[in-house]
């Protein structure tokens, strides 16, 4: 075999090895990208759930901060009354 044919063979083999490595690298990167996209979707779903919980909790906080909730708590747990309430004591 001539020197030129050997050189072409070496270049061809090197190119094929390079292309195989390039394809393997591409496949690995695509698999990682797929995993990351899946993780991103999962984290986005968690963010939406946390935002929903925040909104629910804010609604509860707003209610508990209202005069209605404070008055209800005072009536139920502290036995307090409004000055216009009539109380029934069971005695005549």
Q: Quick: pLDDT tens for 23-66.
A: 999 999 999 999 999 999 999 999 999 999 999 999 999 998 99
Please report the pLDDT score of residue 90 as a whole number: 64
Please report the pLDDT score of residue 59 as a whole number: 92
> 31 vs 3, 18, 27, 43, CA distance in Å?
42, 20, 6, 18
pLDDT at 92 over 60: no
Indicate the average pLDDT of the chain.
Answer: 89
Please report the pLDDT score of residue 71 as a whole number: 85
Report the C-alpha gap between 75 and 64 in whole angstroms: 14
The better pLDDT of the pair 88, 79 is held by 79
Query: For residue 67, what are its two tokens?
Result: 């005069």
Q: Where are the domains of the chain?
A: 3-77
DSSP assignment of 19-31: HHHHHHHHHHHHH
Sign of the torsion angle spanned by Cα atoms 57, 59, 64, 65? positive
- pTM (2 d.p.): 0.55
């Amino acid at each position: 075999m001539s020197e030129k044919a050997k050189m072409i063979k070496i270049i061809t083999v090197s190119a094929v090895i390079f292309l195989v490595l390039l394809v393997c690298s591409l496949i690995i990167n695509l698999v990682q990208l797929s995993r990351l996209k899946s993780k991103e979707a999962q984290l986005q779903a968690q963010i939406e759930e946390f935002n929903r919980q925040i909104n629910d909790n804010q609604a509860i906080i707003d209610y508990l901060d209202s005069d209605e909730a404070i008055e209800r708590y005072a009536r139920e747990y502290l036995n307090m009354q409004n000055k216009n309430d009539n109380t029934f004591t069971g005695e005549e």
